[in-house]
Amino acid sequence: MRTIFAILFCLPLCATHASAQALPTGRSSSWDVSLGYIYASHPATLSDRVGQDGLDAAVTVALASRFAIKGDLGYAQSGNLLGAPTHSDVLSYLAGPVFYPVIQPKFDIYTQALFGGARVTGPVPVNGGILIGGWADRFAWEIGGGVDYRLSRSFSLRGGVDYLRTEYFIGPVPTLQGQSNIRLGASLVCMLGSPPWKRRRHL
């Protein structure tokens, strides 16, 4: 949660950044922060899936002309899973490389591979019955991609689709099994400086 608070603190700085004169290329910063909505298709059992809604926050730092490193914190939940009076949620904390194969004046296309962990909670199906709740905090990874569409020198809209692999108790026997989550996201991005290859004229 500290990451989300830090991002909320940094977003107002973008208004000042938008009116400031750009620094020389060699001294420019090259990172951005984003905050937005995610929808996830989450496996409740081996055969059933549920929809989850939540928030995603990220920080991306450029390393080279088309490469960056991203740290990502996502949280999504659904209510009354499997008829139990409790919700299911996924808290993911991931980091990894981002590659930009297409860079245009108005938009960039990116792909990413992130690694870290995910805490999954929710009811557990056991031999025809339901345990009210359980949790598992295990290794997780995510691959996907999307588009950054520039609104101005300081703001962009980001849309993406990702495959997130987690682990939880989803079968009739209470053992950890892999989960295939599909996530759709839309975020507002605040660019706190631009790397040299992304410098544009004022829009």
Q: Reduced to 3 states, what is the DSSP secondary structure of residue 174? A: coil
Cα distances from 93 to residues 47, 71, 114, 119, 171, in angstroms, run: 26, 8, 9, 9, 25
Spatial contact of 72 and 32, defined as CB atoms under 8 Å apart: no
pLDDT at 201: 41
pLDDT at 14: 47
Query: What type of residue is 132?
Result: I
Q: Which residues of the chain have pLDDT under 50?
A: 1-29, 196-197, 199-203
pLDDT at 29: 47
Q: Check residue 23 and report its DSSP letter.
A: P
Contacts of residue 74, defined as CB under 8 A and 6 or more positions apart, other chains included, come to 38, 54, 55, 56, 57, 90, 91, 92, 94, 183
| Percent helix / strand / coil, the chain, rounded to 5 | 10, 60, 25
Per-residue b or e along 109-120, where b marks 16 or more CB atoms closer than 10 Å to that residue's CB: ebebbbebebbb
List the one residue out of 50, 56, 54 whose CA is nearest residue 80: 50
pLDDT at 153: 87
pLDDT at 138: 95
Residue 146 forms beta bridges with which residues? 110, 160
The encoded tokens of residue 154 equal: 């300081």
Neighbours of 63 (CB within 10 A): 12
pLDDT at 19: 38
